[in-house]
Every structure is written in C-alpha cells, then in structure tokens.
Amino acid sequence: MAQSKPARDAAPEPGFEQRLRRLEELVAELEGGELSLEQGVERYREGVELLAALQAALDGAEHKVEELTEVLRRGLAQLEKGEAAARERADG
C-alpha cells in the first residue's frame, strides 16, 4: 500500500527576530497616526500578543542561561576539587 504524504501543518511559528520586527512595524504604524480607530485597536491587540510572546521567549532564554550557568558552576567546583586532590596526592 502506498503511503501518502502527510498534510502540511500550519506555517511554522515566526522566530524571535521576526516577531520583534513585526512589533516594531506595528509601533511605527500606530505612531504614524494614519490608522482608523478600528485598525489602531487591531494593531494594538496584535502588538500586545507579540509582546507577550517575546517576553515568554526572553523568560525561557533567561531560564536556560541560569541552568547552564549552574551546570558550569558545579563543573568548575568539581574540577577544583579534583585538582586539589591531585595536588594533595602529589605533595603527600
């Protein structure tokens, strides 16, 4: 039996930089003063959603950096213990 190709899912989520650029575009449009009230409200809504997504991405990145920093700190502490033990064996 021939396998069919899987249906394409929705377009991939835009990346952080793409979202940031879009937010900057929205701000420029809102500051331009050329939008109708409805358009302005819609741009503002989109901007709020983008801002929340960007903040979540930054929070996630910050958490990863904190975890990696802790792993590095532990690794350096273990390395220092090992070096101290090696010096004691060499001296003793």
The residues spanned by each domain of the chain are 17-91
CATH number 1.10.287 is the correct assignment for the domain at 17-91: yes
pLDDT-derived band of residue 89, with 50, 70 and 90 as boundaries? Answer: confident
Total count of residues recorded for the chain:
92
pLDDT, residue 85, reads: 82
**pTM, whole model, 2 decimals?**
0.69
Q: Give, for 37, the enclosing helix (H) or strand (E).
A: helix 37-91
Amino acid at 33: G
Q: What is the pLDDT of residues 20-77, one digit of tens each?
A: 999 999 999 999 999 999 999 999 999 999 999 999 999 999 999 999 999 999 998 8
Average pLDDT over residues 78-82: 85
Amino acid at 73: R
pLDDT, residue 52, reads: 98
